Amino acid sequence: MSTPLLQIDLAKIFHNASTLVARLKSKGVSVTGVTKAFLGASQIANTLLRAGVSSLGDSRIENIEFMRKSGIAAQMILIRTPMLSQTDRVVASADLSFNTELDVIVALSSAAVKAGKTHGILLMVELGDLREGIMPRDVEKAIRTVQELPNVRFMGLGTNLACRNGVSPDNRNMAELSAMANRFAPTDTSAQLIVSGGNSSNLNWVFGGGEIGCINNLRLGEAILLGREALNRQPINGLFTDAICLMTEVIESSIKPSKPWGTIAQSAFNGASNLDDQGYINQAIAAVGRQDTDPEGLHPPNGIEVLSASSDHLILNARAKKLVVGSTVSFQLNYGALLHAMTSPHVAKTFVGSEVIGCPRPELQTLPSAAQIFQSQT
């Protein structure tokens, strides 16, 4: 087994996705499965579709193109404002895109006319987190612009919270989005607007008795893959938190002092060392580092502590038990560590389980590296 390795359990991902889809359906909310964390890998994308997600969303057009080439049949949504330089590609591969810039929408219209297609436009509204979004006072003008352009169609409104500044979804900001959706709803009741209230950070609000209003869609990635809500990273009842784990190999294990000695200057990444003196410890090194993942986002097994990391080394305190060189240590990950590891060509990826509980386990499969994916698209 080559390490570092992400072991991805499709059965657990299927369970998490289908559970969330069912719970949200009872609230009148559909799920867009977010595929960016795993580069649009068909094994996971198809698992999400079988679990009942209504569409697939990604922030990179390259991943959407890859899923199209993999034969995945689903509504594809670009969930980041398109680059002006990529509008032709967006129209060619995405059914719908999230937008904030009128110049980009004009370019999408031109590309859609040229391609003989109609492209869906969902306008993102700024509601306080200060990432992307049109200011509420400018939404009506933006809608009119979309409606006047050929080959693009106004499909709905959305917002994004908790990503840049941690602004939480609540009844106030969700009611503001609902009010806008009500105001600009089409007179044709068969053409219901998509009102995408946010991401995994919205789950506390939804399941905590929030006033749903017109919100009818959420974009979920972290909650499905890691089984946690995105505000406090607490486990979601009934979901697996270990659907994906990072396996690493121990390359050194020795008894060493816990406190460095000598003249102390800056380290490669973390400034000057300020480790507490714990005497001698069972120190171990795992063959994984900052080039592979975010060490601060790794959760070790009980009895093991992550001390620090360099580019290629993860320093551990094994505490009571000395680790054996060549043995494997498995970590759970937060979303940042998962995103970094999943998109690193230095981390192998294998699939176990089946997307349907009870089916035979398939042979381990290898997820293409980012380099292989990008090469296949050129």
Q: Which of 27, 36, 321, 349 is catalytic?
A: 36
- For residue 149 the two structure tokens come to 């352009």
Checking DSSP bridges between strand 314-317 and strand 217-220, what pairing results, if any? Answer: unpaired
How far apart CA 119 and CA 108 sit, in angstroms, is 8
Task: Please name the helix (run of DSSP H) or strand (run of DSSP E) that holds residue 66, with its range, or none.
Answer: helix 61-69
For 334-347, the DSSP string reads: -HHHHHHHHT-TTS
CB 100 within 8 A of CB 134: yes
d(CA 218, CA 209): 16
Residue with tokens 């959305």: 158
Cα distance from N-terminal residue to C-terminal residue, the chain: 31
Alpha-carbon torsion (21, 22, 27, 28), positive or negative: positive
Active site residue 36: yes
Q: Could you say which DSSP state residue 26 is in?
A: T
How far is residue 138's CA from residue 151's CA, in Å, rounded to a whole number? 22
Which residue from 84, 156, 82, 88 is spatially nearest to 120, judged by alpha carbons? Answer: 156
Q: Which of 287, 297, 232 is nearest to 37 (CA)?
A: 297
Q: Would you call 230 helix, strand, or coil by DSSP?
A: coil
HSE value, Cβ hemisphere, 13 Å, CA-based, for 159: 30
Residues in the chain: 378
Strands 96-99 and 76-78, how do they pair? parallel
Question: What tokens were used for 296?
Answer: 């601060």
Question: Active-site residue numbers?
Answer: 36
